[in-house]
Every structure is written in structure tokens, then in C-alpha cells.
Amino acid sequence: MDDLVEPEDFYALEAPKHILLGNGFSIASGQGQFSYKLLADMAGGISEKSKDLLSKSCNGDFERAILFLEQAADVAKIYGHKEQAEEYSKESKSLREDLISVVRKVHPKYRSDINESSYEACGKFLKNFSNIFTVNYDLILYWTLLKTGGFSDGFGLDLHSTKYRKFNIGAICNTYYLHGALHLFDENGETIKRKRGSDDLIMDAIENSVESEGRIPMFVAEGEAKKKAEKIRRSPYLSHCLEKLRSIEGVILLYGHSAAANDSHILDSIWGSKVSQIYVSVHEPKENLEYFKESVGKYALIHKKEIGFIDASKLDIWGLSTS
């Protein structure tokens, strides 16, 4: 399966299909502000040293900068430099908090910022899949599924309060936020979802939760896969989501995901699942196909999975193609 697969051939597969969404899903919607580069340009609540690290050494990648600081703190501890270790840990925490703050600033405030035809196109695309897994923290998928219907995130059964709904493991669920999301919060070990009130918007509601109630969105922003996995293990909800990914069978499509080492905990779950075929959407295949053949292909061979690649532009999931 070395050649690019046509979308029609992928859709025609009879096996159950699942999808893993990465940052490219949100960028493809036309809301390009979700690139790490722009988020980094807007970072404000961090030291000048961290800004230099973020922009000059990490090319705007928050996760990579956080990883560097976490590793620097570990090294400083080993060599007995307690003050330096505390400084690096503090900067790492500030970066995570600033990332959440910047996302709220650049995030579209209105669901209507994406046009109806794009929601319809994306909804039609997503209905090809039995389960949706995402590492994105924004509300683009949430808004799309509100328009589409037919999907559930497991927060619909147990009314927690007038503002929040609590995740119920026994509820119908086929949408999983592997790294949390802006509208999800932790409360005493349980995961709750912020609802849009009758007189406010979801972004306004989230801002109220953060600013007035002192809540921080459930958000996995650690730099390296090991630390991400540790945070996931501390959350029953996130652990449940990752376990669901590990339990799937059939076929999975990775869309807008880089398959990088800092998400190896997620990739390992896919390799360890019962899926027989793994497909990867590739942005600009002429430039990037070889990277994915190397990064994904070698593991597919080890784990005896079939691998295929699809030109992301041909999927045109938001219906924005002009061709």
C-alpha cells in the first residue's frame, strides 16, 4: 500500500472506521490561527527568556519549549541546583497557562465564524466513522458535532449542575477528547463539561469558568509523551478515552496529525489496538509523504499493520476546495 489511496477506495472499505484528529483538522477549517506559530507570537504572560526559547529555539512549538524546560528542571535537580530547577519548573508552568490564555484570545468567538456549508461538508465526512478521537483542545469539533448530530461525548446523562454536565462512563459515547479540551474541567477527580447557558456563548461561559470560578480547562500540554501519559493516567476520563482508542478494531484514519514522537503514547495505543489497517492523511504529499512513510511505516511493519496514505486535499473535509 505504498501508493496514495483515493478517498473513494477508503470510504468503500467494509471494516469499521475510526478517525484520529490532529491540529490540521482545525487549521483546514480556515481558522488558521491554531498554528503554534501564531499562538507563540501572541504569548504574553511569560518571561523574556521563555519567549526567546519559544520563538528562537522551538519555532513557536509550545510543547517542545515545555519539554525543554521540564528536562532542564530534571537535570538541575540531579546536579543539586534547586533554585534553577524551581525556576525552570515555574517557567514550564507559566508556558502551559499562557498557552491556554492565548488560545482563548485567538479562538473564534462565534460558531458562525465557520460557514454552514463547511459544517455540512465536515459532518458528512465524519459520519463515515464509528468513533472520533481528537488531540485538539479547541471547540471546532464540538461546534461541528452540534450541527451534525449522531455523535455523543458521554456528558449527556448525568446532570451535574445548571452550568456543567458530568462525564458518565455508562453513557453512549463515540467522541473522545484524548488531551482534554477548552470546555472540559476537572472537579475532584471527575470530568465536567461546561454548557452554553441560555443567555451566553460557550466561549463566554468558558471565560466565566476560568476568570470567575478559578477553573483551568482540562488540557494536556506537557512536552514529552511520557509526561503526557502520566497526566492522562491521573485522570479517569482521559484514561478511559485512551483505553477506548486501544480497544478499537477495523480501520483508523489519522487526519491532520503529525505522528510525532511526543504523541507516542497515542500511537502506541493504535499499534496495540486490533485495527488491521492504518491510513494517514498527508498534507502536500510531494513534500511530506516520505516523512510519514518513515515515521509511521516502520512501526506498521513491526506491528504487522497495513498502512496507506491519502492526499489530504482530496479529502477536502470542509468543502473549501476551489478545484
Predicted confidence (pLDDT) per residue in 69-115, tens digit: 999 999 999 999 999 999 999 998 888 888 777 777 778 878 888 99
What percentage of the chain exceeds 70 in pLDDT? 92
Asked whether residue 322 carries a pLDDT value surpassing 60, the answer given is: no
| Residue 2 pLDDT grade (very low, low, confident, very high; cuts 50, 70, 90) | low
Specify the DSSP element, H or E, that contains 159: strand 158-159
Are the beta carbons of 123 and 148 closer than 8 angstroms?
yes
- Lowest-confidence segment of 29-33, 100-104, 182-186 by average pLDDT: 29-33
SS3 annotation, 311-322:
EHHHHCCCCCCC
Residue tagged 460557514 (cell numbers): 115
Give dist(CA 297, CA 89) in Å, integer.
Answer: 36
**pLDDT for residue 1:** 44
Count of residues in the chain:
323
What CA–CA distance (Å, rounded) separates 103 from 172?
29
Query: What is the Cα–Cα distance from 306 to 236, expressed in whole angstroms?
Result: 32
Q: Is the pLDDT of residue 160 over 70?
A: no
Residue 70, classified by CB atoms within 10 Å of its CB into exposed (0-12), middle (13-18) or buried (19+), is: buried
Q: Which of 151-160, 228-237, 267-276, 278-287 has the lowest mean pLDDT?
A: 151-160
Please give the backbone phi and psi of residue 45, each rounded to the nearest 5 degrees, phi first: -90, 30
**Residue 217: predicted pLDDT:** 85
Radius of gyration of the chain (CA): 20
Residue 117 has pLDDT above 80, yes or no: yes
Pairing of strands 17-21, 131-134: parallel
pLDDT of residue 58: 77
Q: Are 135 and 169 in contact (CB under 8 A)?
A: no
Structure-block grid coordinates of residue 90: 515555574
Range with the poorest average pLDDT among 45-49, 88-92, 229-233, 311-315: 45-49
Indicate whether 286 pLDDT > 70.
Answer: yes
**pLDDT by residue (tens digit) across 255-265?**
999 888 888 89
Higher-scoring residue by pLDDT: 56, 86: 86
Residue 213 pLDDT > 80, yes or no? yes
Cα 39–Cα 143–Cα 131 angle in degrees, nearest 5? 100
Mean pLDDT of 199-219: 80
Is the pTM for the entire model greater than 0.85?
Answer: no
* Helix, strand, coil tally for the chain in percent (to 5): 50, 20, 35
pLDDT of residue 257: 93
Residue of 310, 269, 303 lying closest to 128 (CA atoms): 310
pLDDT score of 32 = 57
pLDDT at 308: 94
Residue 6 confidence (pLDDT): 96
